[in-house]
Chain A
Amino acid sequence: MKIQEVDARAIFAKYGLPVPSSRLVKNAEDARKAAEEIGCPVVVKAQVLVGGRGKAGGVKLAATCDEAAVKAKAILGMDIKGITVEKVLIARAVDISEEFYVGMVIDRRSRKPLMMVSPAGGIDIEEVARTSPEKILKVVIDPAFGIMQFQLRRMTSALSADKEIAKKVGGILASLYRAFMAVDASLAEINPLVVTPTGEIWAIDAKIVIDDSSLYRQKDAAGLRDESAEERGEVEAREAGLSFVKLDGSIGCIVNGAGLAMATMDMIKHFGGEPANFLDIGGSSSPDKVIAAIKIILRDRNVKTILINIFGGITRCDDVALGLIEAKKQLGLDIPLVVRLTGTNEDRAREILKGTALIPAATMEEGVKRAIKAAS
């Protein structure tokens, strides 16, 4: 789960990272007041959960309080990658003489937390990784020991030759590690961590992604979910226990299992169609889940047909069939449904669906081809 910069800054501050003071505002007048309280110059930053907001014009420097109001007004309501900016952060601006990148992820290869630092901060770290990977130092951290002194020394000496700065940065890296572990993050990033001409150090941006699986115990973080930044269907799907991602095509998909759901989308493309979504109804799927899935898919006006592709293991085909019958009744479906049901209780499902207008398919390929035909 991605959280907003304002929330990530609060978490960083709680763990002792140096974060310049800031206020979250929703209109130009409040932006002016915030700038007055904080003291100019300030940075006005769009709070949206997408990357590249700086390039999109969503981050502006304001030298005066009036300018802060003007810039806030320009950014509020702006569309950044399909998301309307509803809130901006007014943050104290600091002078920059050096910019570092500091980040943490869980490394799949070592199966441990990994800290990455680079003296080439302030720009897209993926770009640095592509063009000059030697500028990124990666350190695997053993959670049994935590971040060790020698590791801190290695990283800080890679960032700065100045002993005072290195010492301060070391403390910041240790705090970042503590914050990462404490909130069950899957990513925590400061880009950039800046050094001012007078030798102060500030984390002027903050990004945290929290592991969805930890939300049951990260109660504070669970409240930070920003649904305004999500597609409506994705929010509803999560509430219904489904996994859904909207795409742009015309063939809706309902599949059990993430891998099979991806393979279904791939196959639709392979045979010349366009999938409208990724949707995994999960393992033990009740008829209710099927109904919820169809409702979510039907909200998309581009959808001309729905393909149901089930390989029943835990999922029982008869449950899915009952859900389809019920959905047809409740929703007055007028678009074709192509149904492929294989596995547990498939015979019973076939009985249930006999005599309905559903288009049966014996295999995944047949189902995909029929759905493409029905959508064209």
Chain B
Amino acid sequence: MSILVDEKTRVIVQGITGRDGAFHTSQMIAYGTKVVGGVTPGKGGQKTADGVSIFDTMAEAVAETAANTSVVYVPAAFATDAICEAADAGVKLVVCITEGVPVLDTVRVLPYLRERGARLIGPNCPGIISPGKCKVGIMPGAIHMRGAIGVVSRSGTLTYEVVDHLTKSGFGQSSCLGIGGDPIVGTNILDALELFAHDDETDCVVLIGEIGGSDEEEAAAVIAKGYPKKVAAFIAGQAAPPGKRMGHAGAIVTGGTGTAAEKIAAFRAVGVDVAAIPSEIVDLVKHLVPSRGAKGARRGA
């Protein structure tokens, strides 16, 4: 299995003719993702350099291509509209890469998507990859390998760092989901844990959290009640001063809550080991699923 994206995923790129949209469309196609169309209003009927058909609207694009997923690269001021347009057109998974979407816009679109049975990943996220099957987003495909480790993270490049260590040690991944660095995101750590819990291919979940909010503490509470997969964690931001936003809009310690120390303590209290540095994740995973390095390598192709 894997979660949310696989061989059956058919992707429309919203903002396909923009700089980032065009570049990552090529990258996704090179990885093997089925990019079945793109949308840029006013450019319908044309094709991209990769030969992808461009449509004016999501409704047309979905009707023509039977797409089930969209990825949004449009600028922040138009992202909300693009997300809603995708859901309205019947797409069930919308991945919003765009950074800088007003938080209240995200708040407003979530019920709209829920009514239409659609899920949002992001905004301000690297996207999702199920190695060897499909990549919807901006992560470098080459560092991933198919296997049994599910990865969920609030960060982009830090996830690459961890995934790189995992792959080099023979631990492939079922899916890697970057949920995004905003305070409000469509799919949070708890949602990801729920998805991985029901995924046959995932044996162990690597959870990469950071300061701000209480997703990690709530995840620890869920794990304490009995979670079917092994979990290892890393929390970024131990050296972060309080009251300062650390890049991500959601990465801020306010009123003494949301600190790395609290999150680490919450995990340790429920028996989840927390790596001190990113490379240590590999040691934790080795300990949790000793046979997986070899099995992951066998599955990988």
Name A's B-contacting residues (CB within 8 A).
51, 106, 108-109, 111-113, 125-126, 129, 142-144, 181, 184, 186, 211-214, 216-217, 243, 245, 247, 255-263, 265-270, 275, 278, 280, 283-284, 311-315, 342-344, 363-365
Tell me whether B161 and A263 are in contact (CB under 8 A): yes
Tell me whether A106 and B183 are in contact (CB under 8 A): yes
Tell me whether B239 and A268 are in contact (CB under 8 A): yes
Chain B residue at smallest Cβ distance from A363: B279
Q: Within the complex, what minimum Cβ distance (angstroms) separates A148 from chain B? A: 16
Q: Within the complex, what minimum Cβ distance (angstroms) separates A275 from chain B? A: 6
Name B's A-contacting residues (CB within 8 A).
19-20, 76-77, 100-104, 106-108, 110-111, 126, 138-140, 143, 153-161, 164, 181, 183-184, 188, 208, 210-211, 213-215, 218, 234, 236-241, 243-251, 255-257, 260, 276-279
Could you say which residues of chain B place their CB within 8 Å of the CB of A184?
A: 102-104
Identify 9 residue pairs between A and B in the complex whose beta-carbon atoms are under 8 Å apart, listed by A's number. A109-B214, A211-B249, A259-B154, A260-B156, A260-B236, A261-B246, A263-B161, A266-B239, A364-B161
Name the prevailing secondary structure of the A interface residues.
mixed
Q: Within the complex, what minimum Cβ distance (angstroms) separates B220 from chain A? A: 14
Tell me whether A364 and B255 are in contact (CB under 8 A): no
Cβ 8 A contact of B278, one of A263, A269, A313: A263
Given contacts A259-B154, A259-B157, contact A108 B251 (CB under 8 A): no
Complex Cα–Cα for A363 and B277 (A): 12
Q: Within the complex, what minimum Cβ distance (angstroms) separates B232 from chain A? A: 15
Chain A residue at smallest Cβ distance from B153: A259
Complex Cα–Cα for A112 and B184 (A): 9
Given contacts A106-B103, A214-B104, A262-B236, contact A245 B255 (CB under 8 A): no
Tell me whether B102 and A260 are in contact (CB under 8 A): no
Contacts A129-B255, A213-B76 known; list 9 others, CB within 8 Å. A106-B184, A108-B188, A217-B102, A257-B156, A259-B157, A259-B181, A275-B239, A315-B157, A343-B160
Q: Within the complex, what minimum Cβ distance (angstroms) separates A57 from chain B? A: 20
Give the 8 A-B residue pairs with the shortest CB-CB distance, closest first.
A259-B155, A258-B247, A257-B157, A259-B158, A126-B255, A262-B236, A214-B102, A260-B157
Tell me whether B77 and A280 are in contact (CB under 8 A): no
Given contacts A113-B107, A259-B156, contact A278 B100 (CB under 8 A): no
Complex Cα–Cα for A262 and B76 (A): 25
Could you say which residues of chain A place their CB within 8 Å of the CB of B106?
A: 111
Could you say which residues of chain B place their CB within 8 Å of the CB of A266?
A: 236-239, 260, 277
Tell me whether B256 and A126 are in contact (CB under 8 A): yes
Could you say which residues of chain A place their CB within 8 Å of the CB of B140?
A: 312-313, 343-344
Could you say which residues of chain B place their CB within 8 Å of the CB of A284?
A: 19-20
Complex Cα–Cα for A126 and B256 (A): 8
Tell me whether A217 and B77 are in contact (CB under 8 A): yes
Chain A residue at smallest Cβ distance from B184: A111
Tell me whether B102 and A311 are in contact (CB under 8 A): no
Complex Cα–Cα for A143 and B109 (A): 11
Could you say which residues of chain A place their CB within 8 Å of the CB of B188?
A: 108
Tell me whether B277 and A314 are in contact (CB under 8 A): no
Given contacts A216-B77, A313-B139, contact A262 B240 (CB under 8 A): yes
Q: Within the complex, what minimum Cβ distance (angstroms) separates B248 from chain A? A: 4
Cβ 8 A contact of B161, one of A51, A270, A311: A311
Tell me whether B241 and A245 are in contact (CB under 8 A): yes
Q: Within the complex, what minimum Cβ distance (angstroms) separates B125 from chain A? A: 11
Given contacts A126-B256, A259-B154, A311-B160, contact A213 B237 (CB under 8 A): no
Tell me whether A211 and B236 are in contact (CB under 8 A): no
Q: Within the complex, what minimum Cβ distance (angstroms) separates B109 from chain A? A: 10
Complex Cα–Cα for A363 and B164 (A): 11
Chain B residue at smallest Cβ distance from A257: B157
Could you say which residues of chain B place their CB within 8 Å of the CB of A269?
A: 238-239
Cβ 8 A contact of B104, one of A51, A106, A275, A311: A106
Could you say which residues of chain B place their CB within 8 Å of the CB of A112?
A: 107
Complex Cα–Cα for A343 and B144 (A): 12
Could you say which residues of chain A place their CB within 8 Å of the CB of B208?
A: 259
Tell me whether A213 and B103 are in contact (CB under 8 A): yes
Tell me whether B278 and A364 are in contact (CB under 8 A): yes
Cβ 8 A contact of B277, one of A51, A216, A365: A365
Chain A residue at smallest Cβ distance from B235: A266
Could you say which residues of chain A place their CB within 8 Å of the CB of B184?
A: 106, 108, 111
Tell me whether B181 and A313 are in contact (CB under 8 A): no
Could you say which residues of chain A place their CB within 8 Å of the CB of B159?
A: 259
* Most chain A beta-carbon contacts within 10 A, residue among B153, B213, B240: B240
Complex Cα–Cα for A212 and B101 (A): 9
Tell me whether B139 and A181 are in contact (CB under 8 A): no
Tell me whether A265 and B213 are in contact (CB under 8 A): no
Q: Within the complex, what minimum Cβ distance (angstroms) separates B48 from chain A? A: 19
* Most chain B beta-carbon contacts within 10 A, residue among A111, A125, A262: A262
Could you say which residues of chain B place their CB within 8 Å of the CB of A363?
A: 279
Tell me whether A259 and B104 are in contact (CB under 8 A): no
Tell me whether B246 and A245 are in contact (CB under 8 A): yes
